[in-house]
Amino acid sequence: MRSIALLGSTGSIGRQVLDVVSRLPERLRVVSLAANRNVELLNEQAKIFRPLVVSVGADELTRAATVPEADIVVVAVAGTVGLAPTIEAIKAGKDIALASKEVLVAAGSIVTRLVKKKGIQLLPIDSEHSAIFQCLTGEDRGNIRRLILTASGGAFANYPLEGLADVTVEQALAHPTWSMGRKITIDSATLMNKALEIVEAHWLFGVDASQIEVVIHPQSIVHSMVEFEDGSVMAQMGVPDMRLPIQYALLYPERIDTGLPRLDIAAQGTLTFAKPDPQRYPALRLAYQAMEAGGAMPAVLNAANETAVALFLDGKIRFPGIYDIVRRVTERHEPIHDPDLSQILEADAWARQTAITIMEEVLA
């Protein structure tokens, strides 16, 4: 029996985690649940799973993450709000199943050093990083030549470039293959999700950004690939269902049939791959620039994007304005070498406020 602390239980990933738990009552139990605002759903979840601790609000996340009975903490909260509780959970010796991109994007150096010091497992839940993790099982990481992250291309993969300024929020939220939360769906349309995954992959697998590439794969069947020094390429495939990488992380290294959907490879027909158009997806360039700058720049990139996406969802800026705001914020940031946690959080707050200031300047 493995005991789980779940941060972000009412979100898209959190609900799917609980679906996986419900399929394995003899193997998994929930000992703490934490959510930000959806108290009604959290109450329903608490009645079903009967955790020892139920927490509401960002200030309560650390209490939920460090409950003594938990073996593994699933971090599925959006934003850097998950950073402090993740660090405290690691200090408490908990394994981490990570679905929150922002933890490694903002503080990868701090988190990975602490993981190594405490000797705990850091298990990725994102389908792309789970795929790479699975491909690397039993392999010498010194033999990695390239990590190849696949991307669906989002809602506007084939949309005329000149029309992007006029797309609606509803259009941007119409993802072709995945069912996700609003913010990550917009990130998929801009490919900022893949930009952030480049940073994550660097910290998770210890490779340089120059060894990480992105390919557009609209079918979302190949979740990512690893090319080795001998020319071999390994790929992990499956239906686009987040419960599969969630279950793998929660049960690692075991694999158990819980009735989740299976891939009928013959029924898929053709699988296609293409290089991303840099004009359509400038977010990728911003990620490589942020990695080159180092320090707190990836945290600034992430914070500026979160703010810009929120502005777009609120109808205050147009779709291409997301890129424009993020670019302008990163250009104004003075890199901080080897920042500590307080400096990262200060840079995060600065980037959010600067994004608002830039929006006001542009609209003035």
Residue 335 is predicted with a pLDDT of: 85
Residue recorded with tokens 């000992």: 31
State which residues of the chain have pLDDT below 50.
none
Give the pLDDT of residue 354: 98
Dihedral angle sign, alpha carbons of residues 119, 5, 29, 16: negative
Note the pLDDT tens digit of each residue in 303-341: 999 999 999 999 999 999 999 999 999 999 998 889 999
The residue type at 27: R
pLDDT value at residue 179: 67
Contact residues for 342 (Cβ-Cβ < 8 A; gap 6+): none
Question: Which pLDDT does position 83 carry in this prediction?
Answer: 94
Residue 8, sorted as left (phi over 0), alpha (psi -120 to 50) or beta, turns out to be: left
pLDDT, residue 364, reads 56
Backbone angles phi, psi at 34, to 5 degrees: -140, 140
**Per-residue pLDDT at 213:** 98
Grouping H, G, I as helix, E, B as strand and the rest as coil, residue 154 is: helix
Which residues sit opposite 96 in a β-bridge?
73, 122
**Integer CA distances (angstroms), 66 to 74, 108, 226, in order:** 12, 20, 34
Distance (Å, rounded) from C-alpha 100 to C-alpha 90?
A: 15
What DSSP designation does 274 have? B
Domains (range + CATH), the chain: 2-124 (3.40.50.720), 133-220+273-363 (1.10.1740.10)
Helices 192-205 and 182-190 cross at an angle (nearest 10°) of: 90
In this predicted structure, what is the pLDDT of residue 119? 98
Give the sign of the dihedral formed by CA 78, CA 137, CA 146, CA 245.
negative
The per-residue pLDDT for 363 is 72
Q: Check: CB of residue 202 under 8 Å from CB of residue 191.
A: no
Q: What is the pLDDT of residue 100?
A: 92
